[in-house]
């Protein structure tokens, strides 16, 4: 028996609680602004240099295109779910209602990678940019106190703890406990600020591009050369340790890495009940915001790898690559570096806050369903927030931020989110078969081609992230399965009621 929530009962309960009485005030322009604001964030400034230096070189721009295509395919599937079940919540909620408890658990546990682990990844980048800002005032945090124990400086100094990354998570978690939330005006300012920084860097940096840095545009991979010459087989090539290190395979790997920069577009789907015309505006806003960001991202990657050679990012720059490029090559624009750093820090801060908020709310819903302990849904007597959940994730995300390198955390986030998107695409296919008569205000076009391609592109990008990230994902899901089998099955509210 497949234990799942009744769609009709879920919508009725939501209606009675007032969730479905929200005013439909969001037009197409509002949705596009929300989409662009949600997408542009840590990933662009943090992951671009890593993807270029280790995998694709200047061709990181092609990686952005592949990542955007994967997002668009998944986004169309997301839009169908959101228009069909337009209630507040995440992919976990409607997966529970459509595919049953086991898949809901998989999605919910997987989303911890998108929210909790991503918060840690962004906080590590926040620490790097804080160091850049302090350096302009001749202040420096000792390397050992702002890096993971698994990192060593060029001078041989080993990290102990990334203290700034831990502290920003702690402060924002405490703010969430008090019920602090950003106002609409502040969100708009953040969007304008982030977009302005990207546009300013592209506009000013364009004249500092050195064409030599873009030659060759796709650095050669010797494994691919041997494959083309018939010296090795296809399987031998893709299972070798050289796959994904430049060449066309490097572009695939880069796509999986810079995919982190697109995380956030799916938040649009949760606004379906507030759209004036969700059937038309939801898919258009998702595709247009992705197109705008893809163009900005391609131009950004083109300028960054043109101003500084991608090989430099192997040893210097790291997460603070934009500031490094400006300070090293764009002489006379030191002020831009400072403004960029301040704007990025502000954007990172809002991003961490939203991720921690989403994580606590996700586990709040799972706790109400009995799949995780009641402690995650206990509200503060005064502030009416899930304060114990916030404190638990302060500890968990804080430990990741303090002791795990940023590239490891970022790639875990990417592979987890890609897995969730693939499941969303699969869910649309399944539901078309199991409940074909359900009213769908928006239908994913070109069925079943779009969801099948969505699954394929997501899996290809997941493969490009390499064996180690697959191992981490499997370990993560195995831990989740143990929790489900030992706790969730026995405490599930839905199971007890059926």
* CATH code of the domain covering residue 204: 1.20.1740.10
Domain presence at residue 3: no
| Bigger pLDDT: 7 vs 187 | 7
pLDDT at 22 over 60: no
pTM, two decimal places: 0.76
User: Nearest 10 degrees: CA dihedral of 203, 353, 187, 294?
Assistant: 40
Domain presence at residue 163: yes
Domain presence at residue 103: yes
Domain presence at residue 68: yes
pLDDT at 205 over 50: yes
User: Tens of pLDDT along 308-359?
Assistant: 999 888 877 555 688 888 888 998 888 888 887 887 787 788 778 877 877 8
Q: What is the mean pLDDT of residues 107-114?
A: 81
Domain presence at residue 146: yes
The structural domain count of the chain equals: 1
Q: Rounded to the nearest 5°, which phi and psi values hold at 275?
A: -85, 145
DSSP assignment of 375-389, as one string? GGGPPPTTT-S-HHH
Q: What is the mean pLDDT of residues 387-404?
A: 88
Q: CA-CA distance, 79 to 388, in Å (whole number)?
A: 33
Domain presence at residue 6: no
Domain presence at residue 16: no
Cα–Cα separations (whole angstroms), residue 10 to 18, 107, 266, 278, 325:
12, 18, 21, 20, 52
Residue 25 banded pLDDT, cuts 50, 70, 90: low
User: Tens of pLDDT along 437-446?
Assistant: 878 888 888 9
Domain presence at residue 13: no
- Number of Cβ atoms within 10 Å of the Cβ of 137: 8
Running DSSP on this structure, what letter comes out for residue 487?
A: I
Cβ atoms 270, 19 nearer than 8 A: no
Could you list the residue range(s) of the whole structural domain that residue 184 is in? 23-497
């Amino acid at each position: 028996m497949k234990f799942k929530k009744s769609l009709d009962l879920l919508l009725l309960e939501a209606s009675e609680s007032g969730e479905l009485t929200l005013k439909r005030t969001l037009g197409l322009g509002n949705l596009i602004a929300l989409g662009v604001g949600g997408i542009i964030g840590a990933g662009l400034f943090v992951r671009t240099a890593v993807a270029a230096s280790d995998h694709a070189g200047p061709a990181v721009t092609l990686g952005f295109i592949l990542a955007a295509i994967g997002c668009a395919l998944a986004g169309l599937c997301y839009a169908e779910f959101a228009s069909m079940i337009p209630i507040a919540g995440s992919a976990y909620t409607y997966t529970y209602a459509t595919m049953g408890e086991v898949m809901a658990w998989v999605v919910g546990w997987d989303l911890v990678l998108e929210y909790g682990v991503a918060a840690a990844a962004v906080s590590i980048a926040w620490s790097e940019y804080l160091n850049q800002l302090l350096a302009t005032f001749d202040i420096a945090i000792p390397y050992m106190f702002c890096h993971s124990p698994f990192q060593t400086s060029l001078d041989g100094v080993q990290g102990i703890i990334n203290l700034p990354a831990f502290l920003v998570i702690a402060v924002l978690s405490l703010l969430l406990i008090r019920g602090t939330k950003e106002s609409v005006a502040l969100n708009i300012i953040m969007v304008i600020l982030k977009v302005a920084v990207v546009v300013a860097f592209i506009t000013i940096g364009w004249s500092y591009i050195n064409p030599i840095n873009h030659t060759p545009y796709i650095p050669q991979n010797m494994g691919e050369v041997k494959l083309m010459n018939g010296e090795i087989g296809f399987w031998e090539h893709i299972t070798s340790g050289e796959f994904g290190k430049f060449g066309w395979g490097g572009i695939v790997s880069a796509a999986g890495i810079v995919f982190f920069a697109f995380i956030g577009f799916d938040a649009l789907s949760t606004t379906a009940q507030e759209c004036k015309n969700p059937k038309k505006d939801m898919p258009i806003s998702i595709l247009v915001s992705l197109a705008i960001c893809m163009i900005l991202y391609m131009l950004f990657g083109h300028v960054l790898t043109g101003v500084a050679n991608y090989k430099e990012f192997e040893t210097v720059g790291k997460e603070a690559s934009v500031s490094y490029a400006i300070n090293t090559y764009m002489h006379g624009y030191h002020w831009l570096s400072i403004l960029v750093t301040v704007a990025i820090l502000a954007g990172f801060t809002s991003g961490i806050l939203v991720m921690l908020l989403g994580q606590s709310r996700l586990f709040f819903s799972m706790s109400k369903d009995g799949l995780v302990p009641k402690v995650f849904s206990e509200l503060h007597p005064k502030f009416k927030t899930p304060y114990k959940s916030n404190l638990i994730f302060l500890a968990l995300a804080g430990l990741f931020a303090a002791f795990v390198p940023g590239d490891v955390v970022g790639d875990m986030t990417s592979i987890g989110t890609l897995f969730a998107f693939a499941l969303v695409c699969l869910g649309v296919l399944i539901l078309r078969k199991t409940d074909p008569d359900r009213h769908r205000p928006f239908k994913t076009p070109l069925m079943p081609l779009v969801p099948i391609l969505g699954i394929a592109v997501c899996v290809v990008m997941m493969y490009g992230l390499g064996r180690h990230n697959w191992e981490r994902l499997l370990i993560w899901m195995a831990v989740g399965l143990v929790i489900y089998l030992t706790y969730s099955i026995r405490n599930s509210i839905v199971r007890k009621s059926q």
